[in-house]
Amino acid sequence: MIRKNPRTSRFKESLYRMALQFEDFEDFSNFYWNGFAQGIYWIGTNKKDYDITSPLERAYVREGKVVAYISPDRIKEKYAVEADLSGIDPYADISENAASPTDSIKILRTNAVRLLNEYPVKKAIEVYKYNVRYLPSAKYALKEFWDYAQARRKEELEGKKRKGVRRVGRPRKKT
């Protein structure tokens, strides 16, 4: 008997939040296939308990030295930190990494980066291989995913409008 995992994938949820930042599917598609809108990335470090908001790391960000990889198998450091970049502005907060343009990006702002987990690189590769199956691998699947994200946002907005209506009854008498 095959059991399904009841948890949703962080990769899928992060990509969902990233998809909501785009008004046009073609823009989202171009960013996704070029590696700029994956949602979850990996940052290599030799330090345990890595903190991207520390003053030293912020200085590295200003210098353009913090690189996030799509897959942890390219990381040469001892640890790989799983980072959710779905809160960043894909137009302003990241740039292409000239040293490795097909599989990494440079982070230009740390405020919207959420660090999720830190793993030894070997374990990070296993986590990545397990979760990458939730990501769209064809353009039609990406289009379905984007349509789903837009419909879900519309439902959430409509739901909030209905929930926002309050009925006012008679005021209570003070005793």
Whether residue 77 is contained in a domain is answered as: yes
In a domain, 80, yes or no: yes
What are 39-87's pLDDT values in tens digits? Answer: 889 999 998 888 888 888 888 888 878 888 888 998 999 999 999 988 8
157 pLDDT more than 50: yes
pLDDT, tens only, 101-131: 778 888 888 888 889 999 999 999 999 988 8
Decide if 110 contacts 65 (C-beta within 8 A).
no
Residue 141: pLDDT band (50, 70, 90) is very high
Q: Can you give the pLDDT at residue 3?
A: 47
What the block records as the tokens of 67 is 């690189």
Residues 88, 112 contacting (CB under 8 angstroms): yes
Host domain of residue 33: 10-161
Question: How much is the pLDDT for 121?
Answer: 94
Q: Is residue 109 part of a domain?
A: yes
Does 15 reside within a domain?
yes
What is the pLDDT, as a whole number, of residue 162? 47
Specify if 166 maps to a domain: no
CA distance 86 to 89: 8
DSSP 86: T
For 119, phi then psi, to 5°, come to -130, 155
pLDDT score of 5 more than 80: no
Q: What is the mean pLDDT of the chain?
A: 82
Structural domains in the chain (count): 1
Mean pLDDT of 25-31: 91
Please indicate, yes or no, if residue 105 is contained in any of the structural domains: yes
pLDDT for res 81: 93
46 Cα distance to chain centroid: 23
Residue 168 domain-assigned (yes or no): no
- 102-111, 140-149, 153-162: least confidently modelled range: 153-162
In terms of DSSP bridges, do strands 79-84 and 104-107 run parallel, antiparallel, or are they unpaired? unpaired
Has residue 3 been placed in a domain?
A: no
1, pLDDT greater than 50: no
120 Ramachandran zone, left/alpha/beta (phi>0; psi -120 to 50): beta
